[in-house]
Amino acid sequence: MKIEGNVLFGLFIISSLAYAGYIHQPISVNTTLNATVNFTCQASGVHLMNFFVNGTPAIERSIVDKGFWLSQSTSNGITTTVLTVCTHEMNNNTNVSCQIVPGDINSTTATLIIQGLLASVGDLTYTFINGSSVLLSWTAPYTLDNVPITGYHINDGSMNYITNDTFFILSSIDPDPCNLTNVFVSAGNKAGLGLPNHISFYYKKVPPLTPTVSVTPVVNEMDQLSLIITINASELCIGEYPDNITIDVLTTDGTVVYSNSISPEINNQSMIMTGHSPLILPDTPTVFIINVSLSNEGGEFNDVSPFTLGIPGPVTNIRLINDSCSAVTIAWDSPQCTYILCDVLYYKLSINGAQLSVNNTYFTFEDENVFNHHYNIIVTGVNVIGEGIDTNAIITNEKVPDPPLEDTTSLNVSNDTMTVQYNISVTVEHVCLGRGPRDVYVTLQCNETGFVNTSVEYISGPTNILGSFLLPENQWCNLTIVFSNDAGSSDPLILNIMAINILPSPSSTPKPSGKLPWWIWIFVAIGCGICVIATAACICIIAVIKCRKVQRSKSRRGHMAFPDSLISSNQKSTRTYDKYDPQRPLQDPSSSTTIILDAVTSDPQVTDAYMGGSYQEGKVLEPVKSPDKEGKPVFETPTKPKDMGATVPSISGSIGSSHVLQAQFADQQNQEKTD
């Protein structure tokens, strides 16, 4: 009986193993947090079916505490077991399998993958449709298969929006360009909203006033021309900043020769926006009109005044400056700029044909020819466009000469030859400083006879001008000296000269008359020969005495004034020059400078009248009535004034070879008067 029982049990086991098998095994599941997931095992011909969670029977307490529980049912020989699990985060990536008995046959392993909150959307960007509408776009975050994103949530701080698309148009009825708009975008699933991504922007708007714009052309190291556009953004809100600068370059006839669009950059410290653009222009320098327009997503700004780009204009006020007698400075004023280009890169300077490049508005050079005050100058400004307009000038620093000075002019009046010699000095200081004369005019004019004589001397530097004129006899004359150059003529220096010839001529010497009236000769003829001879001798003696008395009476009426040149070089004379007064007649000695001779001549008629005289303040002493023992007249010396100083010494000299000047000057306070 025991053997039969064992056989029957074995047959049962074999029959059970022959029919036991899985009909449905668990499969992997992707799900979200806080969901419920069922894993199912179904088999036939089994007595027992168990689930394992990560290799641990699902009936274990530790597995149950994680939210796992089992349910099993059998129908028509088919056993179905269900493992239910709550998708807590700790159950993510859980492996699930089942096992049937008899045979301890294991099923395939399924994995539970739980999708949590989604990551942030990617590549969030914005694009302005206009100043008040912005297109937002992004990419979806990663999510598990079969775990869909339920939507995207958009928040701009004032409103919440939901979309199933990865783009959204955000609009504002009254956008404020001065306030920053922050937009948050989050992806959602059954677990909730994922991590948000955000983006910020200012709504764009055209400012009511166009900001200040300036344009500057520059040349780089490669000699390439470009434009720098600067915009003063200090009065703009950020949403009012221009996003685009358009440049159009036209010729004066409206032909567009260059166009470009650039985006400016802002310097937040200086609040200056700057844009750089290459500039390609025709080879021929001319004038170009540069139109600059600004815009942002809000629209086009109001018109910006056009700019003009051209070659420099002419320089002005070319002038010559003498810093010293050897250095010359040429200066000028920069062009009056009507274009945007006001700064000249450099100047081309031509000085008497020599070409130079100058970075300043002046140039100093050494000139060995200190008397050259005339230069042919050409100045041309050069900028990035090319050479400007030439300015030609023939310049000089000559000024009207200073008048000749008395202390640099000397005269010598000669009685022997009746000439006046002059010596006029021209200094180097006058010449190199531009006040030197080019011509010297010396004129001698005597009004009584209308005698005029002029000498012209051309000079080119410091010198002494020597010359002489013949003098007419016994006339008052003006010697006039005038300096002249290209700038004009100086004031005249006028010297007055009294020309008196006191040398006697044979015809002027008084002689006793050799002719007697006819009745005397008749009377003599009647007389005897001896009486006739005696009477004739007496008459001759009487005639000579009478002539001398007449000469003495003339000398008492005044003194004679002589040029000092009539006295020999070893005699002392006094000469003074007064400024010429055109209101006084030349022939009046009282109104002109008088050249006074402090001696007397040896002319028989003059010497007798002046011999023994004394000179005080231009006066000749009166002779007394009684002669001395030798028959010479005696002069009385007037009392000497307190301010006269020392007594004038006696002097003597000679004029010519046969006349001797002798004068005795002494203080004689008491002398007898004589005729």
Matching residue, tokens 């008497």: 352
User: How does residue 231 score in pLDDT terms, banded at 50, 70 and 90?
Assistant: very high
Residue 372 pLDDT more than 70? no
Ranges of beta strands (E only) in 434-538 are 439-446, 451-458, 463-470, 475-485, 488-489, 493-499
Please give the average per-residue pLDDT across 496-513, as a whole number: 51
User: How does residue 15 score in pLDDT terms, banded at 50, 70 and 90?
Assistant: very low
Matching residue, tokens 């030197």: 436
pLDDT in tens, 532-541: 677 777 787 8
pLDDT in tens, 653-668: 333 322 222 222 333 3
Higher pLDDT, 170 or 337: 170
At 249, list the tokens.
Answer: 């370059």
User: How does residue 646 score in pLDDT terms, banded at 50, 70 and 90?
Assistant: very low
pLDDT at 191: 87
Query: For residue 418, what is the DSSP state?
Result: T
Please give the average per-residue pLDDT across 604-614, as a whole number: 35
Residue 363 pLDDT more than 80? yes
Lowest-pLDDT range of 21-30, 482-491, 613-622, 655-664: 655-664
d(CA 343, CA 243): 29
Higher pLDDT, 643 or 102: 102
pLDDT at 245: 96
pLDDT at 433: 62
Please give the average per-residue pLDDT across 424-435, as a whole number: 69
Higher pLDDT, 593 or 103: 103
Ranges of beta strands (E only) in 500-622 are 574-575, 595-596, 615-616, 619-620
CB 248 within 8 A of CB 291: yes
d(CA 28, CA 113): 8
Lowest-pLDDT range of 46-50, 210-214, 289-293: 46-50
Residue 13 pLDDT more than 50? no
Q: What residues are paired with 122 via a beta bridge?
A: 139
Residue 636 pLDDT more than 80? no
At 303, list the tokens.
Answer: 């018109």
pLDDT in tens, 311-324: 888 999 998 876 66
Residue among 161, 144, 153 at smallest CA distance from 121 = 153
d(CA 576, CA 203): 99
Residue 640 pLDDT more than 70? no
At 647, list the tokens.
Answer: 């007594």
Most confident segment among 150-159, 282-291, 564-573: 150-159
Lowest-pLDDT range of 6-20, 171-185, 462-476: 6-20
pLDDT in tens, 119-175: 999 999 999 999 899 999 999 999 998 899 999 999 998 899 999 999 999 998 888
Query: pLDDT above 90 covers what percent of the chain?
Result: 35
Q: What residues are paired with 208 via a beta bridge?
A: none
Residue 652 pLDDT more than 50? no
Per-residue burial over 230-255, b = 16 or more CB atoms within 10 Å of its CB, e = otherwise: bbebeebeebbbbebbbbbbbeeeee
User: How does residue 329 score in pLDDT terms, banded at 50, 70 and 90?
Assistant: confident
Query: For residue 387, what is the DSSP state?
Result: B
pLDDT in tens, 509-539: 344 444 444 445 555 566 666 666 777 777 8
pLDDT in tens, 172-210: 888 899 999 999 999 999 889 999 999 999 999 999 999
Lowest-pLDDT range of 413-417, 512-516, 541-545: 512-516
CB 643 within 8 A of CB 622: no
Residue 507 pLDDT more than 60? no
pLDDT at 454: 75
H or E stretch including 260? strand 256-262
pLDDT at 342: 65
- Helix runs in 477-528, H state only: 518-526
Residue 633 pLDDT more than 50? no
Q: If you average pLDDT over every residue of the chain, what do you get?
A: 74
Overall residue count recorded for the chain in this entry = 675
Residue 482 pLDDT more than 80? yes
- Helix runs in 611-658, H state only: none
Peptide bond into 102 cis (omega under 30): yes
pTM score over 0.75? no
